[in-house]
Structure 1
Amino acid sequence: MPESDVPPMRVPGRGPGWYRGDLHVHSAASDGGELTPGQLAAEARAAGLDFLATTEHKSTATHGAWGRHAGDDLLVILGEEVTTRTGHWLALGIRPGQVIDWRYGVRDAAVERHLDEVHGVGGLCVAAHPFAPYASGTFMYPYQGFDVVEVWNGLWASDQPWNADNEAALAEWGRALAADVHRGRWRPAVGNSDAHLSGQLGTPHTVVQADELSTGAILDGLRAGRSWIAESAAVELACTASAGDRRAEFGERLATRGAPTVVRVEVRGVPSGTVSLHTEAGTAHRASLPTTGAGTVEWRTGADESGFVRVEVRHPHGHMAALGNPVILDERELD
């Protein structure tokens, strides 16, 4: 495909910051999709997104259709939804036109080879909608070899971007987190709309801390877990853990050196919501937000009590509004 038709891998002039994006997006080229790339780009901008990933089912045919729709306010990451017989996964940051094979299942012992294929070009592998309510969508592969897990998928949630399938995916990821953190290899969580129809894009989406608005920097931020998931652009979340003069945010490691740790959570956009903090012992603290939806919650802990802390923010009816990747607490000195 002509190089001019492929979206650029970097948006100039956009340095370090927090960027909002949807990593699971379909056009009319996918089964069930109805929008053109141009319409999706317009909806991404209207939803307050800085980036999106094009992830057609079993195809990269639209990679060359995105160049004219990217710009100085929108990064488009090239990808594919690899729809195998026993689970779907997202290949992000692949080369233009690079198709990742999908014709296998868990018994074929083939997925590792294709994960390596994506990693070989610097790409990211996402375990998609693990509890999707249809046969091939239920994720039967071990998470080993995947970089991140899509714990929040908006497609099957009807009028709400949160449902029992997402609750199950979050619980499974959360149960494994303590052991994974202890082993030093945990997989961050992401959330995406899996948009097929108008009005779905960005509900939810992932907010990533990156050195710049580029494919490489966004993927680096996702791998490191420097990210949180938002129901919409109206929701804002910050979580900082501090010990002495040291501090850490989502995905970062805090050297506590035995000092008490103060966890501070700031939220906007969730009226009368509930903030909960979670550790390896389960739910450790809860606090209510005012009707304005903006508030700050503080809680004290230490690395001797847990190896991490993560935050969830829910609406009064229990549906998720935002959730963050963990801040790792460590008594050891860092290199």
Structure 2
Amino acid sequence: MSQQEFVLQNTSNALVLSEDAAHLIEQKARLEKAIFNEDAPLTLDASKSLLESIFKTVLKDRVQDPDITQDFRPLYRNVRDELPFNGNAEANSLLGNLGSAIVHNVSELRNKFGAASHGDDGYHESPIEMNDAELIAYVVDGLAGFVYRKHKHLVNPETDGRIYLSDYPEFNSYLDEQYSGFKIELGESSGIDVPASEAIFSVDRTAYKEMLVQFRATEESDAEIEQNEGIEESAEAAQLEVQLVPVAQFQQPPESEPVSIINPIQDIAASLVINEEVRLSITDDECNQLAEFVRDYALNYAGLDWQSRESLIAKFRIELKRRLIGVTYLEHYIDEAIDLLIEKAKAYYPSINE
């Protein structure tokens, strides 16, 4: 028996916000245990089962009354129909084909060499060694984590068959600021605080969904207004930016003490390039457009004292997420980019309630 624990890191990271998905977590643990026990045939069985559970969960979440009794490969084809892998058509097709190859070969390996696929004679020895089995597990881990993260990243409450509280933190923050929660008293000195968002979600899932859809619709309406007036507002904001530069910055500094004037747009655009991987995936024009949006939204649409109000910050975050998805910003860095952009907006464009 191997003395080193095997962890499906990619799948584990993808499931971090799905702690109540007990069956998925069990399937992951079953595969990890098979590898820990150096059981190659069982590793093949558990690998296929994990992918099947991922595919069925995605379809149940995204489709009303899906057919999850289909075979392994048709299940994956349905997932591809419902879940885009990439915003670029060519990249989406290539990623889908890569997944198809993995699904096909995992299925073939399990059917021919898995523990439960066929009964063999008492002296049969599987040709699949543990090194082979670990390769299969790593590949399956990659696909399972990729599909599930993509699925959770592209949730849509208007069309999805199931919704989850943890998928909408910005909306939950908005609800918690607008409505009062309650406290369950457990004694004279202890109790459990239940936020409004959790209470609404638990008691009336339909009402929560309707409010969520309305919240998103309001945000889309604001975005449309911003798009129609964007050119004019951008010009006004740029003029205001020049006017607000301290006079001292225009004075000729001594040659020995040069003064560097920070351009907010350039600084915000530069902050989007978190690392080399991001730099290779986004253009300078896209960074500048996003930086200009941060300025325009903060100055014209975020609201009074937005930087100190969680509900308004939540709306700002939603708009930033839409823009980042729109330029196909690398999804695993989106949350980090949003945090950086919010901090830059607070520094350069705070709203003061005079």
| TM-score normalized with structure 2 length | 0.25
TM superposition score normalised by structure 1: 0.26
Greater radius of gyration (CA): 2
Bigger proportion of residues as helix: 2
